[in-house]
Chains A and B, each alone.
Chain A
Amino acid sequence: MFGIRPRQKITQADWKGYMAQRAQQAKNPAIQQFFATPLPDPETPIADVPMVALDMETTGLDERRHGIVSIGVVPFTLSRIKLAERRYWVVKPPRPLDEASIAYHHITHSEIAQSPDLDVILDELLAQLAGRLVVVHFRNIERPFLNAAIKARRGEGVLFPMIDTMSLEARMHRQTLWARFRRWLGRPPVSIRMHASRERYGLPPYQGHHALVDALATAELLQAQIATHYRPETPLKDIWC
């Protein structure tokens, strides 16, 4: 959809087993700590799941060629998004910024020049994510980028279950009989990008492409999706991936 290359698909495996196994094997203390913090059971009602919305701005779309420039996280639950607990970092990507990406995320050379490497904030970031279900809009950016960036710095990657608001949106608008019928008629598919998705739930437009604002927007979108298509009792396993 964004012209990205097809990549290895991470399927919904036995996340509980995977996390336990990684906790055993991890050598880096921060990573070990991350995997050792238990995630909610897959059967937990979504209303009881502690979550954290995550968004990052990158210099491009390929984790092998591009780097992370900013990360925003906002802890939340189904009932409250806690802005006071938000975290936001600008980090220096290992490769130079390309001008086109500046126009996109508005983070400038000088801002980045003064920023630390991801490695400096990684322990903090992992601590924020530990024990919480990470929520993103389009996991195929965040997951491989994080995994690659951490692997480059600590010698081992980090994978974990996520709730992807874009894929939840796709379930409603891309995989239904109605969606297939539309496609058959040659109609353009319903947009499942952030702005269009939020609009469908009456959420206000936010200025996009700021990692923290996008994280907030993602958290709000998930609340709206659950309120509209699911129930507070819906088990986590129906939603994560």
Chain B
Amino acid sequence: MDVELLEIRQHMGRFPPFDGLSDDLLDAIAEQVEVSYFKTGSSILALNEMLNDLCYIRSGAVEVYRSQGELYNRLGEGDIFGHFSLLRNHKVRFPAQAIEDTLIYFIPKAVFLRLCEEDEHFADFVELERPRLESAAEQQKKSNDMMVTRIRKLLTRYPVMVETSTSVQHAAQQMSEAQASALLVIKEGSDNPRYSFKDSEGQTWQMCGILTDSDFRTRVVAEGLSPQTAVGEVVSSRLITIQSDASVYEAMLTMLRSNVHHLPVLYRQRPVGVVHLSDIIRYETHSGLYLVSNIFHQSSAQGLARLAPDVSAAFVRMVQEGANSQMVGSALSTIGRSFTRRLLEMAEAELGPPPVPYCFMVNGSMARNEQSIVTDQDNALILSDEFIPEQHDDYFHALAKIVSDGLDACGYTYCKGDVMATNTQWRQPLSVWKGYFQDWMANPTPERLLHSSIFFDLDSCYGEDLYVETLQDLIADTAPKSPLFLAAMARNALNRTPPLGFFRTFVMEQDGKHNNSINLKRRGTAPMVDLVRIHALACGSKAQNSFQRLNDISKTQLLATGMSEKLSYAFEFLCMSRIRHQMIDLQEDRLPDNNIEPENVADSERHTLKDAFQVLSNAQKFLKFRYPMPAQRQGR
């Protein structure tokens, strides 16, 4: 290689996909490069012109357009263009124009084809956007998913269930046959709606309790009971269960707190399995688990607040260990829920038992299990319909205040929009909540929904789960039939656009505060969450997590084939970029935020980020088209 071309070679070697090339191939490119200068505003590639070279931007900036003239992409130093056309029929389909004085290196077609042939990475890079995004998201995924594994993953089979009238002997035989260490005792009918479920024939059953190996010892044999005794007579009425999408941590905690070794797992109200402590031990990871159990050992809000640095440490460790965004989001949500629950337990200990049943509902990222290290609190109280404000509200107001102040002390700042249980409006009986949701969906305007859309991510954190499930059912039944509601949500979802006007590196935020950065939440993950939520609402999904929502969406015809996977990869990448930058902030003793500074973004990440933003942008365009404002309401 002639040293005289080092100038060119070294420059290209810094940018993907050239950074991965062998020296020989890099030499071959530098040897053959042709150079041309383009004044600002001049055309580099004209539509339908024959294209014989790959274009590499040595300096300057270029805009690439669709054939209809609409902006497709903005490129800067080190970017390439023209590869789509080169790979197809060699006619320019995406014309390009210099938007700054630009120096282009043209790589002749023959060299380009040789690169595609000899270097797989290069070929992947220049083909579609999707593979690049896909492989990037895949690389981020590692095997370590224990932190956030849902408890249902640990289930291997359905629970053994017997009716209350079954004899203990017969029940013991069934357990032996199934090699189960516990069985569930059920009876017909439904006294307690919380534990009632319908079987496949439509028969309603109620779960009465669980009978374990040790129960046979202590309750049957030790008591000298006859083998013919009905199981209903020996079963404990105290039933502790867990929802199938709870994390392994939560299951672990529930066991620790209640001192039980078996937990029936429910999908909504229906039992789908039983987990044993040993199942969980097998999946445990020390750090996170230790933290969560530590939360429940604290006896004061101050004690909880002292754990905040541990949360950051666990977060950094998780990212370093290669956790993906779902693991991190779920682990942080579990930690957040644990703080909330512990505070509620403390509040109940201080204030006495609640006068009427309630459910502490979480909204926003915690409900979606997508919490990040930078988060505020969004929550609400759903009270029993027996609630009488004059008699009971003092209690719940005090309860809400204890939780809210406690969370703030632990680093979950007060909600700026006042979506907190301390707000009377969001501390209401179930019937009022139903009314809220019905009203939002029946009489939507984008302005109203802008402030209430946070409630469309909702999950139970503590108390009567059924209340939240009722609301989830209501939404899933009503939303798909409410085009105006979907249209209004869609319109709001388009308020925040991805920073696609990449200018050399990135388009910067205009807020004056972060002049040299992009807010990855505002411009990336949040619009993506909004977008996914609307499709999920449209297809009646009850999932709250964006990835699960996408999964549900992919089962419908709502999006083009492969689109939900593409969105999923893009979302994962955006989340991970945000998470990684927060990790860097923490490691360097800065207050973590949602902003990324372009100089901290590796070139390879920069390109994938752009792809991800592009996917989001395209999906937003589809949203507008898919959920139009119904004509009769437009004039309002």
Find chain B residues with CB under 8 A from A201 CB: 37, 101
Query: Does A129 have its Cβ within 8 Å of any Cβ on chain B?
Result: no
- The segment from A75-83, A134-142, A150-158 found at the interface with B is A75-83
17 further A-B contacts with Cβ under 8 Å, apart from A207-B7, A223-B36, are A81-B35, A81-B36, A82-B34, A83-B31, A83-B33, A83-B34, A84-B32, A84-B33, A86-B4, A88-B2, A201-B37, A202-B59, A203-B59, A212-B2, A216-B35, A223-B37, A227-B38
A76, A81, A212, A227: the one contacting B39 at CB < 8 Å is A227
How many whole Å from A71's CB to the nearest CB in chain B?
A: 12
Which residue from chain B places its CB closest to the CB of A78 in the assembled complex?
A: B36
A220 at the interface (CB under 8 A from B): yes
Set of chain B residues within 8 Å of A69, measured between Cβ atoms: none
Q: How far is the CA of A96 from the CA of B484 in the complex (A)?
A: 88
Q: Which residues of B have CB within 8 Å of A92?
A: none
Q: Taking the complex as formed, is A132 at the interface, i.e. its CB lies under 8 A from any CB of chain B?
A: no
* Contact A202 B4, beta carbon cutoff 8 Å: no
Q: Does B474 contact A (CB under 8 A)?
A: no
In A160-207, the 8 Å CB interface with B consists of 201-204, 206-207
Contact B34 A80 (CB under 8 A): yes
B5 at the interface (CB under 8 A from A): yes
| Chain B residues within an 8 Å CB radius of A203 | 37, 59, 101, 103
| B42 CB–A CB distance under 8 Å | yes
- Interchain nearest-CB distance for B15 vs A (Å): 13
In the complex, whether A228 has a CB less than 8 A from a CB of chain B is yes
Say yes or no: B7 contacts A213, CB within 8 Å.
yes
Point out residues on A near B: beta carbons under 8 Å: 72, 76, 79-84, 86, 88, 201-204, 206-207, 210-213, 216, 219-220, 223-224, 227-228
B residues near A216, Cβ cutoff 8 Å: 7, 35
Q: Is B94 an interface residue (CB 8 A)?
A: no
Q: At the interface, is chain A mostly helix, strand, loop or mixed?
A: mixed
Residues of A within 8 A of B27 (CB): none
A-B contact pairs, 19 of them (CB 8 A): A76-B35, A80-B34, A80-B106, A81-B35, A83-B8, A83-B30, A83-B35, A84-B32, A84-B33, A88-B4, A202-B102, A203-B37, A203-B101, A210-B3, A212-B2, A216-B7, A220-B35, A223-B36, A224-B101
Residues on B facing A (Cβ under 8 Å): 2-8, 11, 30-39, 42, 58-60, 100-103, 106
The answer to whether A81 touches B101, judged by C-beta atoms less than 8 angstroms apart, is: no
Q: Given contacts A203-B103, A204-B58, A224-B101, is CB(A79)–CB(B5) below 8 Å?
A: no
Q: Which 6 A-B residue pairs are closest in the complex by CB-CB distance?
A: A202-B101, A223-B37, A212-B4, A81-B35, A227-B39, A204-B59
**Bound complex: CA A76 to CA B38 (Å):** 15
**Is the Cβ of A227 less than 8 Å from the Cβ of B42?**
yes
Cβ 8 A contact of B35, one of A80, A207, A212: A80
When distances are taken between beta carbons in the complex, the residues of chain A under 8 Å from B36 are: 79-81, 223
State whether A83 and B32 are in contact (beta carbons under 8 Å apart), knowing that A207-B7, A212-B4 are contacts in the complex: yes
Does B4 contact A204, Cβ atoms closer than 8 Å?
no
Most central of A83, A84, A216 by chain B CB within 10 Å: A83
**Chain A proximity of B457: nearest CB distance (Å):** 47
Residue in B closest to A77 when the chains form the complex, CB atoms: B36
Contacts A84-B31, A84-B32, A212-B4 known; A228 to B103 CB distance under 8 Å? no
Q: Is the CB of B4 within 8 A of A210?
A: yes
B103 in complex: contacting residue of A72, A80, A83, A204, CB < 8 Å: A204
Contact B35 A213 (CB under 8 A): no
Structural contact, A206 and B7, CB atoms closer than 8 A: yes
Which residues of the other chain, B, contact A83 by a CB distance below 8 angstroms? 5, 8, 30-35
Query: Nearest chain A CB to B77's CB is how many angstroms away?
Result: 8
Chain A residue at minimal CB-CB distance from B102 = A202
* Residues in A whose Cβ lies below 8 Å from that of B32: 83-84
Nearest opposing residue in chain B for A228, CB measure: B39
Question: Using Cβ atoms and an 8 Å threshold, which residues of chain A touch B3?
Answer: 210
- Assembly CA distance A212 to B59 (angstroms): 20
Q: How far is the CA of A220 from the CA of B58 in the complex (A)?
A: 12
Tell me which of B36, B38, B42, B58 has the highest count of chain A C-beta atoms within 10 A of its own C-beta: B36
Instruction: Kindly provide the distance from the CB of A231 to the nearest chain B CB, expressed in whole angstroms.
Output: 11
Please, how many angstroms separate the alpha-carbon atoms of A220 and B37 in the complex? Answer: 6
Task: Please indicate the chain A residues that have their CB under 8 angstroms from the CB of B101 in the complex.
Answer: 201-203, 224
Bound CA span A212–B5, Å: 8
**Least distance between B432 CB and chain A CB atoms (Å):** 63
Q: Which residues of B contact A82 (CB under 8 A)?
A: 34
A219 touches B31 (CB 8 A): no
**B11 contacts which chain A residues (CB < 8 A)?**
204
| Chain A, residue nearest B108 (CB) | A84
Contact B37 A224 (CB under 8 A): yes
Chain A residues with CB under 8 A of B33: 83-84
Taking A202-B60, A204-B58, A220-B103 as contacts, is the C-beta distance between A81 and B34 under 8 angstroms?
yes
Closest to A214 in B: B4
B103 neighbours in A (Cβ, 8 Å): 202-204, 220
Give the most central of A88, A202, A206, A220: most B CB within 10 Å: A202
Chain A residues within 8 Å of B5, by CB = 83, 212
Chain B residues with Cβ under 8 A from A207's Cβ? 6-7
A residues within 8 A CB of B38? Answer: 227
